[in-house]
Chains A and B, each alone.
Chain A
């Protein structure tokens, strides 16, 4: 069973639909025991960092998420909340990844919105994916490149497209 973390925003259904299309069962939950009991956890995105973090704290999920040892996949804001400080609403993240999250400098259109390619990528997560494949982005903030970075994309500045550390 895959648990998808429910929080105060986000089009979680798109993640759930994708998981269903791939043939896996999932639940959407903000209950600590259900997250603890799942085989894998997806921490999805789309939302505003400040209000998302506030919701997680109210439910005590901030501590639950960092304590899990099962595979956890953060997507979009989910990835960003696993980083350190987030410039969006001055939000303190969960600090798994050694990167801050910053607003793109205003030298091109923001949000970075649409289909783009990876600049670099490596690791098991990208099995069967090539640098020519298209990836949809929609974000105004980016995670800096750090030792956890396993894929990068270039828009205004090179940034972390994917990160990996332990089970995260």
Chain B
């Protein structure tokens, strides 16, 4: 039986993990490789690395970091941040990324999704959608959530599927960082509206929140950052709990 996935997300800046990290027994808690190894040890199903480095020049170091990560860990790795072209993707895949994720660049130029899919296969294209509930319903935001777009969330999700995306990473800006639980309504609606896997993101605060998103939506995976980084939830405990709640996890 196909299992629901638990995915820690690491934000990378200038080659280091940002957002405070409070892991026990790490030699260097800011080193993404050390943190990645700790998550593999805990039973993470995949890892997502988002490079939030400001400048293109400094971002070139990302491929080197991906190489180090891929050499050390044996679960799938998705890498994103500042990907604008098939060439950018080629560098990361060659370095050892299993999938890549794009967000603003897909909104700016939707054909990029098809270009990447036709070269590397749909399975490696994860389109990230940042969404927020507005007076006009759920809308798509870009540039790290700073800029609203004309797109409504569900039609945009269908569009990226049609263009060849293999997976959608849906982040609710209404709940992101609040630890009040995933946005069940939009996650359910998007998951129902597309036939590709959806990763729920934004709002995880407790183990019950993971149960809720898996029981109330058809999402394939749930992603979180700070609750894992700060050791508030150990992935081993989370999976034990989900198994007891009859949710299929690895």
Contact = CB atoms under 8 A, between A and B. Distances in A.
B121 A114 contact: no
A75 interface: no
Contact of A109 (B74, B94, B99, B195): B195
Interface of B: 1-5, 45, 67, 70-71, 74-76, 93-99, 117-124, 166-167, 195-197, 218, 220-221, 250
A101 B94 CA distance: 26
B74 A47 contact: no
A12 B94 CA distance: 7
A10 B197 CA distance: 21
Contacts of A69: none
B122 A116 contact: no
Contact of B93 (A11, A116, A137): A11
Given A111-B122, A114-B2, A46 B220 contact: no
Q: Which 5 A-B pairs have CB atoms at the shortest separation, nearest pair first?
A: A13-B96, A115-B250, A138-B123, A115-B3, A48-B121
Q: Is the interface of A mostly helix, strand, loop or mixed?
A: mixed
A114 B220 contact: yes
B197 A114 contact: yes
B70 A46 contact: no
Interface of A: 8-14, 17-18, 20-21, 46-48, 51, 77, 106, 108-117, 134, 136-140, 155
Given A48-B119, A114-B5, A13 B67 contact: yes
Contact of A136 (B76, B118, B119, B167): B76
B123 A139 contact: yes
Given A13-B94, A115-B5, A51 B119 contact: yes
A30 to B, nearest CB: 14
Given A13-B71, A114-B4, A138-B99, 6 more contacts: A9-B121, A10-B93, A111-B196, A112-B2, A113-B197, A138-B98
24 contacts: A9-B93, A9-B120, A11-B93, A11-B98, A13-B71, A17-B96, A46-B121, A46-B123, A47-B120, A48-B117, A48-B118, A108-B195, A109-B196, A109-B197, A110-B195, A111-B196, A114-B220, A115-B3, A116-B1, A117-B1, A134-B250, A136-B76, A138-B123, A155-B2
